[in-house]
Amino acid sequence: MALDEPKDNDSVFDIDGFQYIVNNDLLEKAKPIKIDFQQIGFKIDSSLNFGPADGCAGCSCG
């Protein structure tokens, strides 16, 4: 997440006084996207798979 201004190839969502801007190509790959505010920041869920959280996708970590 970052601060940005909408561009021609973005979708804009106004939710509870906040404006969320998502690139249309990313939106098609990641939907559905869910953003939750937690005490330590934001949690973002989507259909994108980034592999294991430990960063060892397909490698041998010894």
Sequence-distant (≥ 6) Cβ neighbours of residue 30 within 8 angstroms: 22, 46, 47, 48
As a whole number, mean pLDDT of residues 19-45 equals 91
The predicted structure's pLDDT at residue 23:
95
Q: What's the chain's average pLDDT?
A: 85
As a whole number, mean pLDDT of residues 16-39 equals 91
pTM of the predicted model, to two decimals? 0.65
* 57 token code pair: 């996708």
As a whole number, mean pLDDT of residues 6-33 equals 94
The predicted structure's pLDDT at residue 18:
87
Distances (CA, A) of 26 to 14, 19, 39, 54, 59: 18, 17, 27, 24, 26
Alpha carbon 41 to chain centroid distance?
Answer: 13
